[in-house]
A = this chain, B = another copy of it.
Amino acid sequence: MGSQEQTTLVTQNQLFYGTFIYPKTLTELEYLYNTAVAVDQNGTIVAIKRDCDLSQATSTLLPRLGWAPNSVTIHSSSDSHNQFFFPGFIDTHLHAPQYPNVGIFGKSTLLDWLETYTFPLEASLSDPAKARTVYNRVIRKTLSHGTTCAAYYATKDVTTTNLLADLCLRAGQRALVGRVCMDQLSPDYYRDASAADSVAATRESIAYIQSIDPTGAIVRPVITPRFAPSCSAPLMADLGKLAAETGLPVQTHISENEGEIDLVRELFPAKKIGAKGDTYTHVYDTFGLLTDKTILAHGVHLSEEEVEIIKARGSKVSHCPCSNSALASGAARVRWLLERGVEVGLGTDMSGGYSPSVLEAARQAALVSRHVAMGCASVEKGSKGSKANKDGIDRERAKLTVEEVLYLATKGGAELVGMKGRVGGFEVGMEWDVQLIGLGRDVADGEYEGEEKEEEGNVDVFGWESWPDRVAKWVYNGDDRNTRKVWVKGRLVHERK
């Protein structure tokens, strides 16, 4: 397996016809009906024609593109099955090796969860056979939920980290794949021997991943310090230099849990590391880990001062609501981040998060934003109400709409993974990372008293709903059954029969 197999999978020219929906802005979805979108062999959108029927589309677009009719594959969305094309989801934070533990977390919170559930499982994935099973499954699973691009943490093991990259490339799922760096505090059985070892292993994995996909079209390496408590100051400093040297993206965790924040303050006093402040953000900033390609997961308890630094560096935040609720980490203030100009995407954070679905993350983002609206965000210990007002969060503004959570799941995520402007919409020049969503046939009088409707998923459309209402129904009750087909860069990578 390697670049040859993948790069030879160039597709035919394709013409997609029907209903297209995508986030035009944070607050607005664009609806295109009776529209044709032409996608070339490289998976790039080369022409769009609105308000036409299929024969008009073929008779005008194909000659203009110089495409012989018999060289073009045509895909139509089915109106009778409430189908529409929608941009693929981007999962900006998940741990591939933790996938077998989804849903298993008991009453734990971050630090005891790591010791009890997570480190033992991750360590066991140095077994290539087990890693192959788990990684294949997590890729198939996330593809089936419409995830066209994922920012993966693997483990500290180089061989199986590289295997994850191989498997993503073969499956055609875009991925950032990070070998996890961790040289302190974790158990003896699962820790890098030294900062130097950690950096050397990281370089080895980077070189491999770049060798199998030299252009980085599908898989790319990402520098991955697990989180500050797991990394010595020398290791973080070296990884910061590596980021500067290579220009590669960085991913890590920040400000997820109050116990973790206390630990970071204790481990990295500002004076000791030469930081300009004593926050979690200052630690990463001191070591050069906050770049405009840095994905910071969580950011639940960030202060105003920290957000200013993150914004100034151009780093981004991956919001992981399923995980934050499950591990009782807190309720992240997404509106507050957005209003301060920080770019935000969504992460499933498996297995702190219980679900492989970015749609579930979007749904939970909407619900958690309502808990923020109800005054649940941890702004500063002991003075929630007044601080919340100071932060300008009022009940209405904190709430995220259906449109907004779908933006975060697509275009928002694209900003985090370095694909801004390349995916997330139906515009000429963008790449075809797309899902075909189907909500099934309308419920009609006397029909569907039995079994068959269930096969089309959990969403029921009665036929009188507007398109925005149908989209809301999908967000709140949709699942992988509604994701009928998935393409990445024009290539069909998942299909439900």
Contacts and interface: CB of A to CB of B under 8 A. Distances in A.
Q: How many copies does the complex hold?
A: 2
Contacts of A451: 495-497
Interface string A467-497: 0010011111101110000000000000111
A129 B331 contact: no
Contact of A370 (B326, B395, B458, B465): B326
Contact of A458 (B326, B448, B480): B480
Interface stretch (A156-164, A233-241, A374-382, A424-432): A374-382
A104 B448 CA distance: 22
A216 interface: no
B355 A443 contact: no
Contact of A104 (B107, B328, B384, B469): B469
A395 B448 CA distance: 45
Contacts of A330: 374
B476 A355 contact: yes
Contacts of A473: 102-104
A51 interface: no
B102 A399 contact: no
Contacts of A141: 460
A413 B154 CA distance: 42
Contacts of A136: 446, 448-449
Contact of A326 (B367, B378, B496): B367
A1 interface: no
A356 B356 CA distance: 21
A479 B477 CA distance: 11
A107 B369 CA distance: 11
Interface residues of A, number: 72
A50 interface: no
A448 B367 contact: no
Nearest to A385: B382
Nearest to A129: B445
A445 B137 CA distance: 9
A214 interface: no
A371 interface: yes
Contact of A102 (B102, B382, B448, B476): B476
A388 to B, nearest CB: 11
A333 to B, nearest CB: 13
A446 B134 CA distance: 10
20 contacts: A100-B460, A100-B465, A102-B476, A103-B476, A103-B477, A106-B401, A107-B401, A134-B462, A137-B460, A140-B449, A140-B450, A326-B370, A326-B476, A331-B376, A355-B477, A375-B376, A384-B385, A451-B496, A454-B481, A458-B480
